Structure 1
Amino acid sequence: MDKFINLVKLSVGSENVDSMSTWQATRRAQTDDGLPRHVTRMWPKREAEILQGGSIYWVIKGAIQCRQTILRLDEVIGADGIRRCAIVLDPTVHRTETALRRPFQGWRYLKPEDSPADLRDQNASDTDLPPELATALAEIGVR
């Protein structure tokens, strides 16, 4: 079994999973390969582990709510000449169980065993819960 690591990142400005997906679709149209990406200043030191099956788990409104598989890391040189890392993502967004997260800057590593599980198809109706309710349920350990 391959050993991999995930990332967790705030989706700043997103109101919910749908708004994040809509924003990515708009940005995706501006790229050559049609894949969404998130550009960050720091290059992950654990690149090899990330690329063995890692995902980025998105924190929206104080809780992890979804994830996307990381396909590759591309070098991007900004107009200022500084090297940055473009985290290239699979466009498929997998909704996850809600997991509370305090605000933080940048991204953090997230071990697979600490990552929230994907919602199963039979729980698809769970995605219709208002984010505030999903967060409240997570706070009391119901979700």
Structure 2
Amino acid sequence: MREPPPLHLLKLCVGAESIQDLEAWIEEMRLHAVRAGRSYEQTHTTRMVPKRMDEIAGRGSLFWVIKGQLCARQRVLAIRPFTDPAGIGRCHLVLEPVVVPVAPRPCRPFQGWRYLDANDAPADLGREAAHGLAEMPEGLRRELVELGLL
């Protein structure tokens, strides 16, 4: 029996202006952990635990929306529910600390996260390299998407 396609999550990357900002933040957190003598594991904390976490963890990705565009993803390695000191249930999304640019597309703001079916997920830009998108500066890609040219 074939395994169903992975399920992904979609989330706003609040505070980041670009993919490079996200990558710089990840590197800063990694260096902070190294200086503190800890191994680094990238996590993102969310308020709600995905009910379909078995379809995501180890198989799916967290797709990031930056400045109104779905533009990058990171693999979700694990999902760890926990209760914070105030007694509120939360979860850590454990992410592979590699950011993969994807074919950009506009995305309206929303709160929290959303499920993203594999069929609706944009392709990695690496597959689009023949068309020059992977080498194109992110700012130019954004402008072309906003103009409806990509």
| Aligned-CA RMSD value | 2.0
Residue equivalent to 1:22: 24
Gaps of 5+ in 1: none
2:41 to 22, 32, 35: 35
Question: Paired residue for 1:47?
Answer: 53
Is the 2:18–2:138 contact (alpha carbons within 8 Å) kept by the matching residues of 1?
Answer: no
SS in 1 for 2:64: strand
> Which one of 89, 93, 103 corresponds to residue 95 of structure 2?
89
Match of residue 135 from structure 2:
125
Match of 2:110, as an amino acid? F
| Distance in 2, Cα, partners of 1:77 & 1:23 | 25
TM-score by length of 2: 0.83
Number of residues of Structure 1 aligned to a counterpart in Structure 2: 140
3-state secondary structure, aligned to 1:138: helix
Which of 141, 145, 149 pairs up with 1:134? 141
Question: Please, which runs of 5 or more residues in structure 2 have no aligned partner?
Answer: none
How far does residue 23 in structure 1 lie from its aligned partner after superposition?
1.4
Partners in 2 of 1:72 and 1:33 — Cα distance? 17
Q: Which moved more, 1:62-71 or 1:32-41?
A: 32-41
